Amino acid sequence: MNSSDTLLILTPPRYNPNTPRLLESRHECRGLTRDYNDLDTRSIPYDKVFETRLQLLRKLCGKVGDGTFVEPPFMPDYGCNIIIGSNCFINWNLTVLDTSLVVIGDRVQIGTGVGLLSAGHDTSILSRQKFVEFGHPIFIEDDCWIGANVIVLPGVRIGKGSTVGAGSIVTKNIPPYSVAMGAPCRVKKTIQSVEEEEQDPNNPYRHLSREH
């Protein structure tokens, strides 16, 4: 389920998760997830682990860019609705309920224990008795840093270059180049864009190489 046409598994705004197509998709995702999380790295040279995991991740997710690494355990729901950009690092225990599309941009870093939850339930008791769920897409744009134990709720977009503090619950969009935190998450300050940082003579990172 790693080809682009599998993204058609995307559900309507309201759906029953027990329909055969969704049950089958989650069943396949569980098998691919186990392959990824249970990889015995003792049998692989250390310099081959990165590429081996990337190939397994590309079988599990809809699309994954070069240079991206996800520490296991990784817990997706469907997998095929997840798009991850290039040169991302995602730490242990990422949970993604990808009923709807979940898009992670380039050079995003995500701390431990984060939940990206595109699925939800109405407050109506009758809706739950009738197995009604809903899904809205989540977008995390390029160059974001998501701290440990952050929860991102359905329909949220986190703007380019933003930092979300550990333990936050993100219920609404975060503008680009923001530092936000809290439950609910609120913007505390704005920061320079990377272009502005590169032009700032007082920026300590301007001349730092990747190898530093």
Question: What's the N-to-C CA distance of the chain in angstroms?
Answer: 39
In the residue annotation, 212 being an active-site residue is answered as no
Closest-CA residue to 181 (of 165, 196, 161, 193): 165
**Candidates 27, 121, 136, 212; catalytic one:** 121
Contact of 52 with 69, CB cutoff 8 Å: no
3-class secondary structure per residue, the chain: CCCHHHHHHCCCCEECCCCHHHHHHHHHHHHHHHHHHCCCHHHCCHHHHHHHHHHHHHHHCCEECCCCEECCCEEECCCCCEEECCCCEECCCEEEECCCCEEECCCCEECCCCEEECEECCCCHHHHHCCCEEECCEEECCCCEECCCCEECCCCEECCCCEECCCCEECCCECCCEEEECCCCEEEEECCCHHHHHHCCCCCCCCCCCCC
| Residues known to be catalytic | 121
